[in-house]
Structure 1
Amino acid sequence: MRLPDLEAWAIFAAVADHQSFSGAADAIGLSKATVSKAVSRLEQQLGQSLFHRTSRRLALTEAGKPLADHARRMVGEARAAEEAARDAASAPQGTVRVAAPMSFGVANVAPLVAEFLTRHPAVDIDLHLSDARVDIVAEGFDIALRIGELADSSLRGRRLCGIATHIVAAPAYLAAAGQPGHAAELSHHRMLRYANILGPWRFRGPDGQEVAVRPDGPLNANSGDALVPALVAGLGIAALPGFIVGPHLQSGALVAILPDWTPPPVSLHLLTPPSPLRPARVEALIAFFAERLRDPCAEALKTHAGQPAFAHG
C-alpha cells in the first residue's frame, strides 16, 4: 500500500493559502524549487492540475479548490495531534484564534477573553470581531461564535443558549405613528433593518398565526448598534437582540412592542473545525465559553423595564 504524500499535501495547502510559490516557500522555510516540485508531484499523483499558472497570477483550478480544503484539514489535524501530545504534559499555551459577532463580541466576549488570559498566562488570543461570516477552516480560526441559524456544514457546533429578540421603538415614534397591535400592521410603519438578516420579518402570534412582513424604512445597516441612534431619534421600528437594546429599554429611551408576537428562535452557537483533535488551549477556551456565555444570554432573556423579552430556544 502506497502511503499518501503528506509533505506534498502540506506544501499544497501553504501555496493555496499564500497564492504564491515564493510566498509559501518563505512561510514554511523551503526553497521555491522544492515547493514547486512538491506541487507538481502531487498533481502527477492526482492526475489533474491544481493551479492555473500565469506570469502574473496563481489561482486554484476548480478541481484544486475542494482539494485545498482537504489539505488544510490534513495540516490542521496533524498540528492538533502534535500539540495534543505536547499539551498532555504541560499547561495550555500558544495562540487561539477566535471569531465573534461585533456587538456581542465587544459586550460579552472581550471581557471573558481578559478573564481567560488572566487565568492562562501562557495562552494568547487572536480575537476577530465582525458581523461577516468567516470561513473557519480557510481562515485558520479555532473557534467561532455565531448567532442565528447554522447552515449545514462539516463544522462541529454546539448551542450555548437562546438569544432574546425585541421589537422596539422610541416612545416619540409610537406617539406620532401609533403603536401596532398586530404584526401585520408593521407593514404600515417605518422599519430599520439589520442587513445581515435577509428576507422578510416573520412572526408567530398567540393563536399560532404566522405573519411575514417585508421591512421598508430609511436605514439599513450591517451593525445592530448602528440602528440604535436612529431608533432613539424616533425614526422607526427595529427587531434587535437584547444585548444591544437592553440598556435602552431599561432607561426608557426605547420600549418593546408586540409582546404576543414572537420572531423565529435565535441561538448562540460555538463552532470549531471538523477535526475532533484540539490542543489543550482550545479545549480550555471552549469549556470556559460554554460555562460563562450562558450568563449574558440568561440576562438577555430577562424582562427589561417591565417589557417582556422574546425568549427563544
Structure 2
Amino acid sequence: MDKFAAMHAFVRVVEAKGFAAAAREMGMSRSAINKLVIGLETELGVRLLQRSTRRVSPTATGTAFYQRCLGILADLEEAELALSQAQAEPVGPLRINAPMTFGTMHLGPILAEFMANYPGVQVQLTLADRFVDPLAEGFDLTVRIAKLETAPPRLVAHELTPLPRLLCAAPGYLERHGMPKTVQDLKDHSCLAYGELANRHGWILENAGEEIDINISGAMCSNNGEVLRDAAIQGLGIVLLPRFMVQASLDCDALREIALNYRPTALSLWVMYPTNRHLSTKVQLLTSFLQQRFSD
C-alpha cells in the first residue's frame, strides 16, 4: 500500500465529508478511495472514520490523525518543491483564509491580479471573521487583522500595514445623546460591540502610551464589522471599527468620527503561514505580492 496515497485519500474524505465527493475531487473511483482508507485503518489498527448512510466523519483518533497528516503531506510537498527548485512557474492550489469584510473589499481584487500574473495557481479563498488556525484547518496562508507582539506558535507572521481604528456614530444619534467628551462618557452611551453576547465587552484606548480599558454596553453586538457599521448608520449607537470599513460613510456624513482624549489602539494587517510552508514558492510569491500592494 502506498501510505502517502492512503493518507491523501483519508484527508480528502474528511474534508469532503464523504467518499463519493472525495473520489470526484481526486479523479478516482469511490471503491479505490475506500480501499485506500480501509487499508490505512487496517495497517494502523484503529478506526479513523465513522461511516453512515448520510455522512462520513472522523473519530476522535481520526481527527488527531487528520491534523498530523496535514503536516506530513505539507512537508512532503515542500520537499518535492525544494528538490525541483520549486518550479520556475508556480502551479497548483493555494488555500487562503481572510476576514469577511476585508476579503470582499480589498483582498479579492488583489488576488485576481495575482492569479492573472500566475495563471497556474488555483486560489481557494475562504472568508471568515472567526479565528482560524491555518495548521489545524489546512490553509497555506491566512490574512488577519490583529495586534500581535509575536507570531503565534508554528506560524511565520509578516506585518503588511497598520490599520487605524475610529470611534464613529451617526449624526442623528449624536444629536439625541450628545457628543462624548472623554472616554468615561462612553459608559453612558450605547456602544456596539464586536464579539459574542455572552462575553464581557470592553474597548482599549490609549494616550501617549498609556492604555485604558473601558467597559461598554449597548443594544447590539456582532462578530461582523459590516453589521455593526450599518447598525451605527441607523443610529443604534457608537461603533469602533478600522478606518477602511467606515471611511466611505464618513465621506458622505452617514457617520461622524468621535475624537476623545484617548484614541483606539491601532491594529495591523498581517499575513501568516505555517513554518512548513516557508519553501513554498506560491506562499512566498503571494506574501511578497501582498507586501508590495500594501506598502502604501
Q: TM-score category by the smaller chain?
A: 0.7 to 0.9
Which residue matches 2:141?
Answer: 143
Q: Secondary structure at the match of 1:141?
A: coil
**What letter matches 1:168 in structure 2?**
C
What are the superposed Cα offsets for residues 238-293 of structure 1, whole Å, 9 maximum, x if unpaired? 10110011233344443222433233442222122341354423321111112222
Map of 1:211-222 to 2, 5 A cutoff?
Answer: 211-217=213-219, 219-222=220-223
- Given residue 244 of structure 2, which amino acid in structure 1 is its aligned partner? F
2:176 paired residue number = 176
Query: Separation in 1 of the partners of 2:93 and 2:254?
Result: 41
Could you say if the C-alpha distance between residues 252 and 278 of structure 1 is closer, same or farther in structure 2, counting changes exceeding 3 Å? Answer: same
Q: Report the counterpart of residue 50 of structure 1 in structure 2.
A: 48
Which residue does 1:267 correspond to in 2?
268
Q: 1:200 corresponds to which residue?
A: 201
For this pair of structures, how many residues does the alignment match? 292
CA root-mean-square deviation: 3.3
Change (3 A) 1:99 1:81: same
Contact 1:203 1:211 in 2 (8 A): yes
**Richer in strand (by share):** 2
**3-state SS in 2 of match to 1:92:** coil
Superposed, which structure 2 residues align to 1:1-313 within 5 Å?
A: 5-30=3-28, 32=30, 34-54=32-52, 57-86=55-84, 88-134=86-132, 136-137=134-135, 140-149=138-147, 152-195=152-195, 199-206=200-207, 208=210, 210-217=212-219, 219-295=220-296
Deviations 1:285-313 (CA, angstroms, capped at 9, x unpaired): 11111222232xxxxxxxxxxxxxxxxxx
Secondary structure of 2:89's aligned partner: coil
> Structure 1-normalised TM-score?
0.77
Q: Does the CA-based 8 Å contact 1:84-1:280 persist in structure 2?
A: no
Q: Using the alignment, how far apart are the partners of 1:281 and 1:106 within structure 2?
A: 21
Identity %: 31
Runs of 5+ consecutive residues of structure 2 not aligned to the other structure: none
Report SS of the residue matched to 1:275: helix
Given that residues 196 and 222 in structure 1 are in contact (C-alpha distance below 8 angstroms), is that contact kept between their aligned partners in structure 2?
A: yes
Q: Call closer, same or farther: CA 1:26–1:264 in 2, change over 3 Å.
A: same
SS at match of 1:166: strand
**Which SS does the other structure have where 2:277 is aligned?**
coil
Residues 85 and 172 of structure 1, relative CA distance in 2, 3 Å threshold? same
Q: Partners in 2 of 1:196 and 1:294 — Cα distance?
A: 33
CA distance in 2, matches of 1:211, 1:56: 49
Letter in 2 for 1:76: A
Q: Does the aligned pair in 2 maintain the 1:97–1:142 contact within 8 Å?
A: yes
Question: Given the superposition, is the C-alpha separation of residues 264 and 201 from structure 1 closer, same or farther in structure 2, using an over 3 Å criterion?
Answer: farther
In structure 2, the CA distance between the partners of 1:115 and 1:186, relative to structure 1 (3 Å rule), is: same
Evaluate the alpha carbon distance shift between residue 54 and residue 245 of structure 1 in structure 2; reply closer, same or farther with a 3 A threshold. Answer: closer
Contact 2:81 2:87 in 1 (8 A): no
Show CA shifts across 1:48-85 (max 9, x none): 33223455553322122111111122223323443455
- Partner of 1:235, secondary structure, is coil
Q: What displacement does 1:40 show?
A: 4.1
Name stretches of at least 5 consecutive residues in structure 1 with no aligned partner.
Answer: 296-313
Q: Is contact 2:164–2:265 with CA below 8 Å preserved after alignment?
A: no
AA aligned to 1:13 is: V
The normalised TM-score by structure 2 is 0.80
Match for 2:285: what amino acid? A
Would you identify which runs of 4 or more consecutive aligned residues in structure 1 move more than 6 Å? none
* Deviation, structure 1 residue 236: 1.5
Aligned to 1:302: none
C-alpha separation in 1, matches of 2:285 and 2:88: 13
C-alpha separation between the residues in 1 aligned to 2:211 and 2:115?
48
Shift of 1:209: 6.0
Larger deviation: 232-241 or 82-91?
Answer: 82-91
